[in-house]
Amino acid sequence: MYHLKILNSFAAAHNLLNYHGDCENLHGHNWKVEVTVSTPNLDSSGLGIDFKTLKRRTNEVLDRLDHKYLNELDFFKGVSPSSEHISRYIFESLQELLNSSGVQIKEVTVWESDNACATYTLD
């Protein structure tokens, strides 16, 4: 099995719901995003998926989040836009976009700071 990973980022504002502390107030992050996909097969060029394709599809998803107030987006209506939920949103959105590419989304990790992240996977 081959595993491929790309890194990307986006900036957005949010506030956590049902939370008592600083993060219940409106604030923002520069999130770093790691996307890992897996495939058992390579194409005739020796690629599991072209990194350009994976980056383009990831950008399509992150563009929906970048410079937005996450609490106002449909996916997060009534749901706290935590790093955990953001990683799931990116995972599920990419899974739809890459459905016919022959690769599987393995995991999506969202870093809200240099030392705190959340990962969503089907494991």
Catalytic residue among 24, 67, 72, 96: 67
In the residue annotation, 23 being an active-site residue is answered as: yes
Cα–Cα distance measured from residue 101 to residue 119, given in angstroms and rounded to the nearest whole number: 22
Contacts (Cβ under 8 Å, ≥6 apart) of 90: 33, 35, 58, 61, 62, 65, 108, 110, 120
Q: Is 36 helix (H, G, I), strand (E, B) or coil?
A: strand
Cα–Cα distance measured from residue 28 to residue 96, given in angstroms and rounded to the nearest whole number: 27
Q: Which residue has the tokens 């994976």?
A: 54
Tell me the residue length of the chain: 123
Catalytic residue among 34, 92, 112, 117: 112
In the residue annotation, 112 being an active-site residue is answered as: yes
Catalytic residue among 23, 34, 84, 92: 23
Q: Active-site positions?
A: 23, 67, 112
